A = this chain, B = another copy of it.
Amino acid sequence: MRDEIMREELKEECGVFGIVSREGRASRTTYYGLFALQHRGQESAGIAVSEDGDIHLHKAMGLVGEVFDDAKLEELKGDLAVGHVRYSTSGDSSVINAQPLVFKTRQGTIALCHNGNLANSLALRESLKEKGSIFQTTVDTEVIAALLAGSSDSDLVISIRSVMKELKGAYALIIMTRDRLIGVRDPLGIRPLCIGRKEKDLMLSSESCAFETVGGSLLRDVMPGEIVVIDRSGMKSYPPEEKNEEKLCIFEFIYFGRPDSVMKGQSLYMSRKRAGKILCREVPADADFVCSVPDSGTPSAIGFSEASGIPFLEGLVKNRYVGRTFIKPSQNQREIGVALKLNVLEEVVRGKSIVLVDDSIVRGTTIKRLISRLRACGAGKIHLRISAPPVMWPCFFGIDTPSRDELLGARFSVEEIGRLVGADSIGYLSLEGLIEATSSSGFCTGCFSGQYPLDIEGADGRYALDTAQKVRT
């Protein structure tokens, strides 16, 4: 689960959902599907539907529940729909960049939804511009559309296959034409995309939790490099010509994915709980109780508790009503920032030693303040345990990481970090332990290891891949 105030650090880019519906209520199901994916993006939301060959679109800034009302959904008739949620950055947050994007091309009108980040986006844009393309947004989706439109093949699947050869990076796409829904996942499968079913209807989604929310169930993941075409008659798969090992972003398992989603056949909740158990094995600690930073640290904390036999208690309580917007406390009210969101249960922590479990440390400012508040409430020893390795490298594939200068893990040793945040002891899960916890394999672990699954040209020197030539709108 996402925590906007405290965790303005690692952010997913987007969530996508699509359906071909026999009932013809495609937009309504997509609406509920996007609700289930809201944790993947709270900036803007949009749905496009196809009705008798016409594509209708509504999108706006805001949460799904704010962008759509009953009247808007009623206008979006049609049995094919595709929807998108996008996350809120300060920079080029604008309705012009909201998705789906709808393009009229020689292949007809298509709606595109994209989750991911192209590493060679800038080079592709420049090359397309040289050939006469014009760009109205700053999102990669438009680059992909321009490449598709430039393909001379009349078969859209062949065009997609040929465009995929040019794309370098992470992309989970849903493309809607007048009569088909096409799911595409990059050859390394860096971003997730899966197929679901509700009775006879087939769906695509970033995460399986959306299928259950709308009353359906997960069928399977889209394979890396696979193209999946869904129409009214069923589904057809176009596997990649050359099969790569999957390199799913491991942060989907750690933090991004909803705990009730399943990826690679594994429950993310169970994987996080196992991570807590292994964490206990690797860096054990003794204390009066185990406590989590809610909500994302809780599954691992419960796992740690199970493995250690130390009881799990709630020592921090979250204010469920702190929304996206609130007025920043002034300098002399700095402590309010964390307190608005999380409060310490003094009666629980007073005089007690604690194993405090969180899923990651990025800049470290929040955990530092939390520990200081715990101390103020009379907590004894605080043993900080993180259910993932230190984040040391930036992400090039769709996660909003700070620069290395701000990454605590890149600048300090584990011991130094412990001292900096004020913990009595500190322990991170090893990368091996994390992989073990997933009960799986095939991950991009670039942010921990610096080993990226794709060659990043000029890598370290180009964190901000798409910051040049921005039109702020």
A interface residues (Cβ-Cβ under 8 A, vs B): 1-2, 25, 28, 31-32, 35-36, 38-39, 42, 54-58, 63-66, 68-70, 73, 95, 101-106, 109, 125, 129-136, 142, 145-146, 149-151, 209, 212-215, 258-260, 262, 267, 269-270, 295, 298-299, 302, 306, 311-314, 317, 319-327, 329-330, 333, 335-336, 339-340, 343-348, 469-473
Contact A149 B136, beta carbon cutoff 8 Å? no
Using A145-B134, A302-B314 as known contacts, say yes or no to A35 and B105 having CB atoms under 8 A apart: no
What would 14 A/B residue contacts be, using CB atoms closer than 8 Å? A25-B330, A28-B327, A54-B471, A64-B321, A65-B327, A70-B327, A101-B136, A105-B134, A109-B471, A132-B151, A133-B133, A133-B134, A214-B336, A270-B348
Using A104-B134, A319-B35, A348-B270 as known contacts, say yes or no to A473 and B58 having CB atoms under 8 A apart: yes
How distant is the Cα of A151 from the Cα of B129 in the complex, in angstroms?
A: 11
Contact A136 B133, beta carbon cutoff 8 Å? no
- When C-beta atoms are compared, the residue in chain B nearest to A332 turns out to be B23
How distant is the Cα of A387 from the Cα of B178 in the complex, in angstroms?
A: 50
19 other contacts beyond A28-B327, A35-B321, with CB at 8 A cut-off?
A32-B333, A32-B340, A39-B321, A54-B470, A54-B471, A65-B327, A101-B136, A102-B471, A102-B473, A103-B135, A105-B129, A133-B133, A209-B343, A212-B344, A258-B343, A259-B314, A260-B317, A260-B346, A269-B348
Report B-chain residues with C-beta under 8 Å of the C-beta of A131.
132
How distant is the Cα of A325 from the Cα of B122 in the complex, in angstroms?
A: 40
- When C-beta atoms are compared, the residue in chain B nearest to A29 turns out to be B333
Report B-chain residues with C-beta under 8 Å of the C-beta of A146.
132, 134
Contact B317 A306, beta carbon cutoff 8 Å? no
Contact B132 A104, beta carbon cutoff 8 Å? no
Minimum C-beta distance from A62 to chain B (A): 10
Minimum C-beta distance from A80 to chain B (A): 14
Using A150-B132, A212-B339 as known contacts, say yes or no to A28 and B345 having CB atoms under 8 A apart: no
How distant is the Cα of A219 from the Cα of B153 in the complex, in angstroms?
A: 53
Minimum C-beta distance from A253 to chain B (A): 14
Using A36-B340, A267-B347, A319-B35 as known contacts, say yes or no to A327 and B69 having CB atoms under 8 A apart: yes
